Structure 1
Amino acid sequence: MANPTAPEAPAQPTFGFGSYRAEDEGPWEEWNPTADSVPAKGKHRVAKQRTGGGGFARSSTVLGVGVIAAVSAGGMASANTGNAPVSINVADIPGVGSLVSNDSDQAPEPAPISNIVAEAGQESSDAAEALRSRIIAQAESQQTQADQQAKVAAQRAEAQAAAQAAKAAQANVEEAKEQADEAAKEKAEQARLAELAKQYTLPTSSYTITSTFGQAGALWSSGYHTGLDFAAPTGTLIKAVHSGTITEAGYAGSYGYRTILTLDDGTEVWYAHQSSISVSVGQKVGTGDIIGRVGATGNVTGAHLHLEIHPNGSASGIDPAAWLRGNGLNP
């Protein structure tokens, strides 16, 4: 069974241009609704357009684009300059403020956004230059302080080195002076000893030292040797070591034949174990005069001269070798 044919659609009312109309309708007329012809209620109510100052309704699209551009420009300025965001009034945007203004008088154009950005950039540049100048000044100040400290340290080190050098030089001078003094003293002593050597002489010649002062042994009754032994052949001449007076001359037990010469300062010089005596008590003798001869009398083991030195006639003697050296002689 076939589907029934759909009825034709009724003619639709048309409004405006290009509308469809039936052929059997009367002549076509354009309908321009007005406030009076529009019904109070209905589907075809037309809103009354607002006008004024160029028309906000017609320019809504332009306004939106201008605001977005202005806000974007302000954001870019804030991002580029690093300063606080620039407050932008829509009324101040060229070409946009007139779209929303109802005033008939045109306000003076505000400064362009580029000028605002330039001024912010200039302020940022000035701040950066000021900061750079402060950093450079601080660095130069620190460098100056470091240079000054290094200079002071160098001067201090130089002063210390100079003081040490002066101290070392003074020490060298003092040491040289001491050495010179010692040399002068030694020279004077040598001169004195040389002069004394003219006044003193060794007690004999062609001898050998066999026993020294203080030497221990059972051969001596005191347990140690009290003099200096000059071993020499019997008959070797014995001389006065210095000028003086003979205070003893004769046999003296273990000393054998002994002669005592008392010098002008009171020192006694004992000559023992002589084979013969050539002077007498009270006789004045001079340096180098013959007073006897080497022998082996008394407590001896061989021919030798036993010499003792007794300062100021004391009972105990001193080392004859040291005494002889003190008078310029080297036994």
Structure 2
Amino acid sequence: MASNRHASIEGTHLDTYGSPGTYPAYFGPKADDGETYGEWNPSEDTLLPVRGRHRVARQRGGTIARSRAVLGVGVFAAVGAGGMATANEEGASAVAGVDTAADEMATIPVLGDLLTGTDSGADTATADTATADTATADSAAALAEAPSGPAGVLDAGEALRTRLLQQADQQDANAETQAVTAAVQEAEAAAAEEAAAVAEAERAAEEERRREREEAERLEQLRASFTLPLNDYRLSTYFGESGSMWQTTHTGTDFAAPTGTPVKNVHTGTVTEAAWAGSYGYRVIVELEDGTEVWYCHLSSMSVSTGQEIVTGDTVGRVGSTGNSTGPHLHLEVRPGGDTAIDPLLWLRDKGITV
């Protein structure tokens, strides 16, 4: 066989033309005449030995694949150990070759760690590797829980299978819990939306009731702040009627009553006129806060003067038949903004007064 000596010139030989020449050492030792060449492996001794510390880096990542590999090796080891344990009631030590097989298995990476309880790569282990080791520890715990002895030998593979089934059941239970939690949260959200809708409907109903109460209060206040000019009367002529006594149509409403009946102010305001007014006879004009003028005509007497502030119910004069009149009555006119006359009855009813 070849040596690892330097490729120097060891001797001479004849070349193909019969001339003496040198014989290179890298062809191996020169054979004697008649000696046959043996098989020569150039990589056996010619390569320089590897010097220094060389270490194959432990592969990182692939946690799921490594966990499955470790778990698979553990399953095979458990099943094999269980088979050997059940094959002979006296234990695995009675089976020939078990010690040798155990020694061989101890030399296998990862599996040897499982059998000896050590980790040859502990200095480079990561958090993902710890997860796989935990699964392996669970498998080993399942094996340790199996009773031994001829009275009750529990198949180690069955114990490991039971543990795996328990883990699967636990995962299913967790998934079911998550589904139930999601359903509960969805139901709570729906209930919250329904409660919000009910609350909104109740709020709208309460708002409607509040508006109704405010309207009723407003009408009540109007009834209290407005009043009819006479307590006892008879409507003799209505707004808009035509006749020979008027140039166009009747511009007010006539309240017939005995002469001398007190005439009340229908609403708070200021007296702008209290005097004789031709065909209207004695007339009192009261201007309200919104500019509306209320005329009290054909009075027999007047109880107020110009510029006087009067309130609802104050007496402005007494019923008479002065001016263009055929009998004692109160001619009532209403002129918004002091302009065109409107129907006094509609105006009073709009203020909450029943006529």
Q: TM-score, normalised by structure 2?
A: 0.41
Q: TM-score, normalised by structure 1?
A: 0.44
Q: Highest CA radius of gyration, 1 or 2?
A: 1
